[in-house]
Amino acid sequence: MTASTSLPVLAARAAELDAADALAPFRDEFVADPGVHAYFDGNSLGRPVAATKERMAALLDAWGGRLIRGWDEQWMAAPEQVGDRIGALTLGAAPGQVVVGDSTTVLLYKLIRAAVAARPGRDEIAIDDDDFPTDRFLVESIARECGLSVRWIPVPRDGGPEPTQIEELVTERTALLLLSHVSYRSGHLADVETLTRLAHDVGALVLWDVCHSVGSVPTELDRWGVDLAVGCTYKYLNGGPGAPAFAYVRAGLQPELRQPITGWMGAADPFAMGEHYEPAAGIRRVLSGTPSILGMQPMLDMLDLIERAGMPAVRAKSVALTEMVVDALDGELAGLGLTLASPRDPSRRGGHVTLGHPDAQAVVARAWQRDVLPDYRAPGGIRIGLSPLSTSFAEVADGLGVIAECIRA
């Protein structure tokens, strides 16, 4: 890929950064589309890892060769084994607290319902008013189901919730506070430890949506005292379209949590075929139906890459990539009507940057026609999602150059 000559200063800087990038060899580990000039949607759907072709072929061989025996021999324990690996490499979670299961939506539903049931007598769920739609929709519907109220935390569209708001709006009436570690729109990076402590001070449980941070931002759920978390695996964990999500439940909270979708895989003895449901001990009680063994395979190869690279190095490159976008906005992109719709401070920003523009939707459509793939986020946001292990600095310069030309057009 050749950096765009429409932004020569940025292109020259990109060449320097790529030459010094210790993570540059990882780009060859992914399945690439030579027709894509710049992929700015790694925070929505990560590129596939090339090694996954062999892994999927091996699974087919095991499936065909072992048939039903595969469940006893390896697959039954996969949700917890893969969960432990996600926890150790990306979440700062000790074993026995992460499990791979349903979709993000279903796991959020389970944990929200379980959390409010674990705090009887409290009649509110708190959530910020710009959280991801699924999170907000679920909170509204669960509040209706359970006769609760929703406490909306107002946040700026280029930021996120702050400690003073949690102190003011989360009270002894709050059963659960639900927030995102990284805002899907702005990329705002929340202070998880502080916000969690403030909610705990008034006795509320806290559930963190880590979909836009897992695999991009180092996370320390155990050390931060987090109660619950849910994340997807098709963004920075490159699990592929429809890959299953994961749930984290703090070990000390597991015995009192009763999730509402009581399927056979979460039972104490699934093959007893008992008359009544008895939850499994530990994190397995979060499971419901038969887990997707096929769906877990691709993320394993990305976890291998993360283990080799190390999350500190992944985060350092993520910051460098997003800083390049902000620097371009202040430099060669100035005068094009673009604004920064993300936090300027990199310590308050996750792995994507959103640029505001009055004609953003049309600009994104034009960019896609030229094989540069950002995301449009209403109202007026061009979201630049940068997956550190699969993205070069030259790719960023090239893509921003095309976006500049699309604006001028």
Which residues does the annotation mark as catalytic? Answer: 132, 209, 234-235, 383
Tokens of 6: 């429409």
**Strand ordering across the sheet containing 228-231:** 98-100, 246-249, 228-231, 205-209, 174-180, 124-128, 149-153
* CA 405 to each of CA 6, 8, 182, 359, 395: distance values in angstroms, whole numbers, following the listed order: 8, 13, 30, 13, 15
Beta carbons of 211 and 160 less than 8 angstroms apart: no
Residue 354, beta-bridge partner list: 383
Exposure string over 163-202, b if 16+ CB within 10 A, otherwise e:
eebbeebbeebbbbbbbbbbbbbbbbbbbbeebbebbeee
CA 110 – CA 178 distance, rounded (Å): 13
Residue 99, beta-bridge partner list: 247
Q: Residue 66's CB: how many other CB atoms inside 10 A? A: 14
CA 368 – CA 362 distance, rounded (Å): 10
Fill in the amino acid letter for 25.
P
Secondary structure class of 290 (helix, strand, coil): coil
CA 380 – CA 356 distance, rounded (Å): 6
